[in-house]
Amino acid sequence: MSQGYIIWFTGLSGAGKSTIAAALAEVLREREQRVEVLDGDVVRTHLSKGLGFSKEDRDTNVRRIGWVCDLVSRHGGVAIAAAISPYRQTREEIRGSTARFVEVYIDCPLEVCIDRDVKGLYAKALAGEIPHFTGVSDPYEPPTNPEVVIPSHAESLDASVARIVNTLEELGYLPTVAAVEEGA
């Protein structure tokens, strides 16, 4: 059984984490990887229902996602987490508890995220209707040394996915297409 790994997407709401994670998962499945995507919105509905948005509740949510990702990766799967995960220390805690961790920072300006906001959450947060909204009334702490930085406002979805795939190949987590063809 091959070793699994975790790909952890972090960034503001609307930055493109879920979109890029889904496209990456498709590419990895085409390359015969066993992939599970843990999307922040879906996890909050099922695994973290009842948690609020205090720092403690956000940290609990992120730790739960990390625990599930670790289970998937320990059993040879690729766990992709796409969650805001606003606090650097909690992300580093997850990194430190797993053997193979790739942090992908979706670096998108707040103004672009606001323009992309299909749910209207930023408008509500800016109007004071949503307290503790990351990037508006609550902090977001960008990673200091992510393996991949994706400027989602400045490059195509395909280019973003290719950048991540290249990094996974360079790290030795994903066999190159040439290596797979040689083994066939």
| 119 annotated among ligand-binding-site residues | no
Q: What count of residues does the chain have? A: 184
Rounded-to-5 percentages of helix, strand, coil across the chain: 45, 15, 40
User: Strand pairing of 35-39 and 78-82?
Assistant: parallel
107, 95 Cβ separation under 8 angstroms: no
To the query of whether residue 137 is one of the catalytic residues in this protein, the response is: no
| 110 annotated among ligand-binding-site residues | no
Collapsing DSSP states into helix, strand and coil, what is residue 142?
A: coil
| 66 annotated among ligand-binding-site residues | no
Collapsing DSSP states into helix, strand and coil, what is residue 143?
A: coil
| 18 annotated among ligand-binding-site residues | yes
Distance CA 24, CA 37 (A): 10
Which listed residue (48, 85, 152, 160) is catalytic?
A: 85
| 15 annotated among ligand-binding-site residues | yes
| 16 annotated among ligand-binding-site residues | yes
Q: Which residues are annotated as a binding site?
A: 11-18
Tell me the catalytic residues.
85
Q: Which residues are annotated as a binding site for ATP?
A: 11-18
